[in-house]
Amino acid sequence: MTTPRRVESLLTDKGQVPVYTTAVVEQPWADYTAVEHDTWARLCARQGEILPRRACRAFLENLQALGMHGDRIPKFDALNVHLQRATGWRLIGVEGLLPELDFFQHLAAREFPVTWWIRRPEQFDYISEPDLFHDLFGHVPLLMNPVFADYMQAYGAGGVRAATFGGEPLTNLTRLYWYTVEFGLIREAEGLRIYGSGISSSQGESVYCLDSSAPNRVGFDLARVMRTRYRIDTYQKTYFVIDSFEQLFRATVAPDFGPIYYGLKGAQSIPAGALLDTDAVIQRGSGEGWLADGDV
């Protein structure tokens, strides 16, 4: 264990440059200030207001079960008691973004890296990299769901294998993670619901992804998603909709990805806002407010 340092990405003249560290650290719980506990409490309360009837059932139920509505930052050890019992996952403290292979290896071992530090008050509405609120509030409730938990592990194992194939498969996998774990929607009996953590930890996008007529909403298709570019600096232009976590798990665990990568090799990437003739379109977005550049 090393002493926790707050490691943020750097804003340079080349834009936001990530700083990767690999250390696993002990959550310095006693060092959180009153302001930091207050930031956690206010973010939880605000999302707690808008997520009923927006987030999927599994997310809302487990948010309750984990007690993520208190006025203090939770202790990883206390959450781990619940997680271990439910799905065998375990939270580990990290300084921030990890290099991809390290991240995949943790997921494959059913360990979820959680950034130990929380955003500053002036970052209340937006922070461009994962902090403790995003990682805990956004990701951990679904790690309590057995099928989703298995999907995350299968994704990590796929990533470890892809890392040996080099650049293009890694890009494909990053897009899959982005459009499912971070920004996925799911169809439930009552309508479309949020399961992606990038959405559920953002007030603005929680409303936008369901209520706005601007974005596309399209049925999930693994190979299609793997070709789709995305945006890290605005709300998504396209959301992909799954019917169940089983669908996600089956699509990810059944193939070893080898043939899929082979089929995708050299395939043109798809702009974030484009629709294809083959898409199962649920909602054709109006495109209002979209920026022309900035896909990655």
Residue 103 lies near ligand HBI (rule: CB under 6 A): yes
Compose the 196-215 pattern: x for residues touching Fe ion by CB under 5 A, - for all others: -x------------------
CA angle 30, 31, 37 (to 5 degrees): 90
Name the active-site residue from 134, 197, 202, 206. 134
Name the active-site residue from 8, 95, 106, 201. 201
- In angstroms, rounded to a whole number, what is the distance separating the alpha carbons of residues 175 and 180? 8
Residue 242 lies near ligand HBI (rule: CB under 6 A): no
Complete DSSP assignment for 7-72: ---EEETTEEE------EE---GGG--HHHHHHHHHHHHHHHHH-TTTB-HHHHHHHHHHTTTSSS
| Shortest separation between residue 106's beta carbon and ligand HBI, angstroms | 8
- Is 82 tagged catalytic? no
- Beta strand 238-242 with 185-188: parallel, antiparallel or unpaired? parallel
- Is 182 tagged catalytic? yes
Residue 97 lies near ligand HBI (rule: CB under 6 A): yes
- Is 139 tagged catalytic? yes
* Number of residues engaging Fe ion in binding (CB under 5 A): 1
- Is 197 tagged catalytic? no
Residue 210 lies near ligand HBI (rule: CB under 6 A): no
Stretch that binds ligand HBI, among 2-10, 60-68, 73-81, 91-99 (CB under 6 A): 91-99
Residue 80 lies near ligand HBI (rule: CB under 6 A): no
Residue 174 lies near ligand HBI (rule: CB under 6 A): yes
Name the active-site residue from 8, 36, 95, 182. 182
177 binds, among ligand HBI, Fe ion, none (CB under 5 to 8 A by kind): ligand HBI
Residue 91 lies near ligand HBI (rule: CB under 6 A): no
Stretch that binds ligand HBI, among 54-62, 90-98, 215-223, 276-284 (CB under 6 A): 90-98
| Shortest separation between residue 130's beta carbon and Fe ion, angstroms | 5
Contact residues toward ligand HBI (CB under 6 A) are: 94, 97-98, 100, 103, 113, 130, 174, 177
